[in-house]
Amino acid sequence: MMISTFSFDLPTRIVFADNLLSNAGEWIKSTVPGRKAMMVTDPGIRAAGLLEPVLASLAQEGFETVVFDQVSANPKDVDCQAGGDLAREWNPEVIVAVGGGSVIDSAKAIALLHTHPGTIRQYEGRGKVTKDVTPLVAIPTTAGTGSEVTRSAVITDTERQFKMTVKDVKLAPKLALVDPVTTYSLPQSLTAATGMDAFVHAIEAYTCRLANPVSDGLALAAMERIWRYLPIAVREGGNQEARREMMVGSLMAGMAFSHADVASVHCMAEALGGLYDTPHGVANSMFLPYVTAFNAAADPIKHARVARICGLASEGMSDEEASDRLVEALFGLSEEIGIPRFSSLSYVRHEDFDTLAEASFQNGSTPSNCRTITAQEYRQLFEAAYAGRKP
Ligand SMILES: [Fe+2]
Is residue 124 exposed (0-12), middle (13-18) or buried (19+ Cβ within 10 Å)? Answer: middle
pLDDT in tens, 113-163: 999 999 999 999 998 999 999 999 999 999 999 999 999 999 999 999 888
Instruction: Calculate how far, in angstroms, residue 389's C-alpha sits from the geometric centre of ligand 1.
Output: 24
Instruction: Calculate how far, in angstroms, residue 318's C-alpha sits from the geometric centre of ligand 1.
Output: 30
Q: Distance (Å, rounded) from C-alpha 262 to C-alpha 256?
A: 9
Dihedral angle computed from the Cα positions of residues 316, 319, 325 and 330, in that order, rounded to the nearest 10 degrees: 140
Instruction: Calculate how far, in angstroms, residue 363's C-alpha sits from the geometric centre of ligand 1.
Output: 14
Q: Distance (Å, rounded) from C-alpha 343 to C-alpha 15?
A: 41
The pLDDT score that the predictor gives to residue 3 is: 82
Instruction: Calculate how far, in angstroms, residue 86's C-alpha sits from the geometric centre of ligand 1.
Output: 28
The pLDDT score that the predictor gives to residue 144 is: 93
Q: Distance (Å, rounded) from C-alpha 26 to C-alpha 384?
A: 51
Instruction: Calculate how far, in angstroms, residue 201's C-alpha sits from the geometric centre of ligand 1.
Output: 6
Instruction: Calculate how far, in angstroms, residue 288's C-alpha sits from the geometric centre of ligand 1.
Output: 11
Domain spanning 188-387: CATH 1.20.1090.10: yes
**C-alpha count within 13 angstroms, C-beta hemisphere, residue 303:** 26
Task: Give the whole-number percent of the chain exceeding pLDDT 70.
Answer: 100
Instruction: Calculate how far, in angstroms, residue 191's C-alpha sits from the geometric centre of ligand 1.
Output: 14
C-alpha closest to that of 302 among 207, 226, 204, 202: 207
Helix H or strand E encompassing 15: strand 13-16
Task: Give the whole-number percent of the chain exceeding pLDDT 90.
Answer: 94
pLDDT in tens, 354-367: 999 999 999 999 99
Instruction: Calculate how far, in angstroms, residue 93's C-alpha sits from the geometric centre of ligand 1.
Output: 29
Confidence of residue 270 (pLDDT cuts 50, 70, 90): very high
pLDDT at 390 over 90: no
The pLDDT score that the predictor gives to residue 39 is: 98
Give this prediction's pTM.
Answer: 0.95
Confidence of residue 7 (pLDDT cuts 50, 70, 90): confident
The pLDDT score that the predictor gives to residue 112 is: 98
- Mean pLDDT of the chain, nearest integer: 96
The pLDDT score that the predictor gives to residue 320 is: 97
Confidence of residue 2 (pLDDT cuts 50, 70, 90): confident
Domain with CATH 3.40.50.1970 in the chain: 13-183
C-alpha closest to that of 283 among 266, 264, 267, 269: 269
pLDDT in tens, 42-84: 999 999 999 999 999 999 999 999 999 999 988 999 999 999 9
The pLDDT score that the predictor gives to residue 368 is: 98
The pLDDT score that the predictor gives to residue 296 is: 97
Instruction: Calculate how far, in angstroms, residue 62's C-alpha sits from the geometric centre of ligand 1.
Output: 36
Report the CATH architecture of 13-183: 3-Layer(aba) Sandwich (3.40)
First to last CA, the chain: 28
Instruction: Calculate how far, in angstroms, residue 122's C-alpha sits from the geometric centre of ligand 1.
Output: 22
Can you tell me the mean pLDDT for 14-38?
A: 97
SS3 176: strand
Instruction: Calculate how far, in angstroms, residue 358's C-alpha sits from the geometric centre of ligand 1.
Output: 19
Domain with CATH 1.20.1090.10 in the chain: 188-387
pLDDT in tens, 156-177: 999 998 889 999 999 999 999 9
Q: Distance (Å, rounded) from C-alpha 248 to C-alpha 251?
A: 5
Can you tell me the mean pLDDT for 185-204?
A: 96
Instruction: Calculate how far, in angstroms, residue 145's C-alpha sits from the geometric centre of ligand 1.
Output: 6
